[in-house]
Structures are given as structure tokens and as C-alpha cells.
Amino acid sequence: MIKLVDVTKVYPNGTVALEKVNLEINEGDFVYISGESGAGKTTLLRLIHLDELPTKGTILYRGKPIKKIFKVHAWRRKVQIAYQDFMLIEDRTVLDNITLPLQIIGESFSSIYNKAENVLGMLKLRDKMYKLVKELSGGEKQRIALGRAVISNPELLLLDEPLGNLDEETAQIIMDFIEAINEQGTTITMSTHHMVKREVSTPKRLIRLKNGRIIYKGYV
């Protein structure tokens, strides 16, 4: 589905974030991207989301360069990202935040509300629907950011360290949710320092980055 061909990203200050990365993400995959801080994990996700453009190389969607077949706003209806710093609107309710992608495209209120109830129920946050985001804990905000990313049913979900600084119980809730979304057909690409150990029915792919290069491809 997504293919990176010799992708390099060099920032204006000379920092090489990624170098000659070749990677294919197939439809329905669950792909972990691991590596130490500064390895290039977040940059990789941002390039796929079109937050940034590669310095060299090409990113393809079903064999064609993304930039040639999609405008950015159209691409982001297919691909959603949940950032590590949440990017939530603190003085708005959970309902307002989680349904923002649906509000933008003009979906009906009844449809928006039903989808919000379903997603918040899966994330065990239905009782927080009318709370202001600023009243929530960090773990709750993480779940809201994740819910907002999935509510529009993207083809590909990009997750930037969704388990960072979470207690074990919250991490398990999030992993249960992510795996359920993947089983329903959403392709997952998730950067992480922390993979929750659990019994799984199907193996997940693991890509390790170091200094902007892929040093390992395998399964967990």
C-alpha cells in the first residue's frame, strides 16, 4: 500500500534524520517502528502523513507518488496521525475534540454522536464525553488523541509513541483498542519504545531504526 524508496530527510541545520530508507507497508499490516530517541521514528511518520517532504527519494501509494495523486487535505482523509504531544484543544470538550475530523467534513450530528459514543466506549472514556480536555489526565488525553485519529475510519493510522509515560493498565486499554482497529482492517504503523507483551493471534512486523537507517526488519 505504502512504499518508501530510498527516502532521505536532511533538515536545514544539516541533521540527517533519515537516510536511504526503503520500506513497504502492506494493507492490513501492524508495523512497530522502534529505536532510540533521535533514530528517525517521528520523522518517518511525518513524511508519510505529508507533514514534511523527503529531501530525496519517493513515497508511493499503491505504486504512484502520493504528491502527484493527492492534495494534502485529501491524503489526510485516508491517513490519520496521533501525535505524542496530543495537539488537543484544551478548553473544548472531549466530544468536540474527538469529533473534529467529522465536523470538518460536515457529517451529521447524529452520525458524529454515535461514532463518538462507540469510540469513547472502546477507550473506556464514555463518561468523560462532556469534560473539558484540560480537566483530564495525561493518559486520558492520550486516549482522546487516539480516538480522534480513528473516528473517521482512516485506511492507515500512524501512532507516535502512544504508550509513552502510561501506567500498565492504560497501556493495555490502548493496545486493546489499537489491535481491535487493526483487526477491522485499518493498517497500523506505530513508533514506540515500549511494546506491551501479550499473546497475539497474528505476528506484527518490527522495524528498527538507528541514526536514520533501518537496521532490522522482522516479526514479533
| pTM, full prediction | 0.94
Q: Exposed e or buried b for every residue in 155-187, given b needs 16+ CB within 10 A? A: bbbbbbbbbeebeeebbebbbebbbebbeeebb
132 secondary structure, DSSP code: B
Per residue in 182-212, pLDDT (tens digit) is 999 999 999 987 665 555 557 899 999 999 9
Question: Would you state the cell numbers that stand for residue 118, as one nine-digit string?
Answer: 462507540
- The per-residue pLDDT string of the chain (220 residues; one tens digit each, 9 = 90 and over) reads 999 999 999 999 999 999 999 999 999 999 999 999 999 999 999 999 999 999 999 999 999 999 999 999 999 999 999 988 899 999 999 999 999 999 999 999 999 999 999 999 999 999 999 999 999 999 999 999 999 999 999 999 999 999 888 898 999 999 999 999 999 999 999 998 766 555 555 789 999 999 999 999 999 8
CATH number at residue 90: 3.40.50.300
Across-strand partners of 158? 81, 189
Residue found by looking up cell 533501518 in the block? 214
* Total domain count, the chain: 1
CB atoms within 10 A of CB 196: 15
**3 state SS of 208:** strand
Query: In terms of residue numbers, what domain contains 142?
Result: 2-219
- Torsion angles phi and psi, residue 151, rounded to 5: -65, -25
